[in-house]
Each structure stands twice: as structure tokens, then as C-alpha cells.
Structure 1
Amino acid sequence: MQITIELPEDIGNQLQQNWQNLPQKILEAIALEAYRSGIMTTAQIQELLKFSSRWETEQFLKQYHAYLDYTEEDLEQDIQTINQVLSK
């Protein structure tokens, strides 16, 4: 899908001067907001931004303080799952 946005000329020029690759920066902003909102997964972020690895994706998210929403309950459930797998 291709999406076109219109910016006032002066704002577009200002953004372009500060962000060399404006289309990429816009994609990154969309990816970050979608991840923070729970709309996209890390795998989808990796695909959208054409990152070569999960680690590159994680580094990108960390750089912009978009951390995984991982609760204490999630940790407890993961520990239980690991213990069940290891006990087999």
C-alpha cells in the first residue's frame, strides 16, 4: 500500500533538513506508535522497517524507549512454563 501525505512546504523543508531520509523517519514514527499502541508486533516492525534481525528491531525500539509491555505476571507465567518444560 502506498500512502501520500501533504505537508506545508516550509515544514516539509524543515523536516527534510533535519531528517535526511524523511520517508524512512515517517515509517519509523508510524512503527513506534503502532508498537506502543499494541497494534504491531516486533516481527511486523522488523518487516516494515526491513531490519535484518530481531536484535536490530529490539535495538531500534530500545533507542526510542518503546519497551515491551512485560508484567510481573508475564514473568511468573514464563517461569512456570520453563519449569514445566525442564521437568519433562
Structure 2
Amino acid sequence: MEIQIALPDDVAHSLELKWGSLERRLLEMIVIVAYREGSISVGKVRELLGMSTRLEVDTFLKATGVELHYNEADLEADWQTHKQLRQEGNLSLVIRH
């Protein structure tokens, strides 16, 4: 679906100077609201914004002040992934001081 809005040229220009692409900014705003209210998942956020990883989505959402949805099912899935990576020898420990 394509949605069009009308803005006075001076307002559009001013906002573009501040935000860059208005189309992108509006898409991000819609995605943020939809995620906050539970209408779309993290996977859909990633798809709509063209992001390649969950970490990229989490970073974007945190930067915009959105509280991440994380429940017991997410924890269990992460734990299973951790176990699988450890069994395959693909898990490395990084300690930062």
C-alpha cells in the first residue's frame, strides 16, 4: 500500500534538513508505534526497515527509547541457541574490562 501526505514545501524542507529522508522517518515512526503496541514483531520490524539482524533491530529500538519485548519464550529460545552454539564449538567467550 502506498500512502501519500501533503506538507507545505517549507515544512518538508525543514524536516528533511533535520531528519533526512521523510519517507524513511515516517516508516520508522509507524514501525515504532506498531511495535510498542504489539501489532508487529521484532521480525517484522527487521523486515520493514531492511535490517539484517535482531541485534540491529534491538539497537535501533533502544536508541529510539522503545522498551524491548522479551519474555520467557524468548529466554528459552536464546538458551537453546546458546546450548547449540556451545555444543558445536561456535561459542567464544569475550571478557571486557
Report the TM-score range of the alignment, normalised by the length of the smaller protein.
0.7 to 0.9
Aligned to 1:51: 51
Q: Percent identity?
A: 36
Q: Which runs of 5+ in 2 are unaligned?
A: 80-97
Aligned to 2:26: 26
Q: 2:38 and 2:12 mapped to 1: Cα distance?
A: 29
**Deviation of the 1:62 alpha carbon:** 0.7
**Deviation of the 1:69 alpha carbon:** 4.0
**Deviation of the 1:14 alpha carbon:** 0.9
Q: How does 1:8-19 map to 2 (within 5 A)?
A: 8-19=8-19
Letter matched to residue 6 of structure 1: A
Aligned to 2:67: 67
| CA separation of 1:52 and 1:69: change in aligned 2, threshold 3 A | closer
Q: Name the structure, 1 or 2, with higher relative contact order (CA <8 Å, separation 6+).
A: 1
Q: 2:28 and 2:39 mapped to 1: Cα distance?
A: 14
Give the count of matched residue pairs. 75
**Deviation of the 1:68 alpha carbon:** 2.2
Q: TM-score, normalised by structure 1?
A: 0.73
Aligned to 1:39: 39
* Greater helix share, structure number: 1
Q: TM-score, normalised by structure 2?
A: 0.67
Q: Which runs of 5+ in 1 are unaligned?
A: 83-88
Q: 2:22 and 2:4 mapped to 1: Cα distance?
A: 13
